[in-house]
């Protein structure tokens, strides 16, 4: 079995594009989530190896999600994604 991935983004078009690209490279996309709370629940249920995580989510931001995932017994690797708005880069993990 290859590397398993959870895609977390509130834009369905991004999730669909990311899924297509990842699967074409041999990754196994095991799920998708459209907000932070759903992401945390999906990680606990699906236990992916990797989480592709948007910073700007409608409920809690990606930095807070990453902080919560980091506290799990066996946390996944997290790759943060972002828009090009400079304001998105002002927060750091630990500011939650």
Residue in this structure with the two tokens 């590397």, named with its chain if needed: 3
**Tens-place pLDDT, residues 52-83:** 999 999 999 999 999 999 999 999 999 999 87
The DSSP bridge partners found for residue 81 are 54
The structure tokens listed for 31 are 């799920």
**Tens-place pLDDT, residues 23-53:** 999 999 999 999 999 999 999 999 999 999 9
pTM of the model: 0.86
Q: Are 3 and 28 in contact (CB under 8 A)?
A: yes
């Amino acid at each position: 079995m290859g590397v398993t991935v959870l895609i977390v983004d509130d834009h369905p078009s991004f999730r669909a594009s990311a899924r297509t690209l990842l699967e074409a490279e041999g990754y196994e996309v095991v799920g998708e989530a459209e907000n932070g709370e759903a992401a945390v629940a999906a990680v606990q249920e699906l236990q992916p190896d990797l989480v592709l995580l948007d910073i700007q989510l409608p409920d809690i931001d990606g930095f807070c999600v990453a902080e919560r995932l980091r506290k799990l017994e066996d946390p996944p690797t997290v790759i943060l994604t972002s828009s090009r708005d400079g304001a998105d880069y002002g927060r750091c993990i630990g500011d939650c």
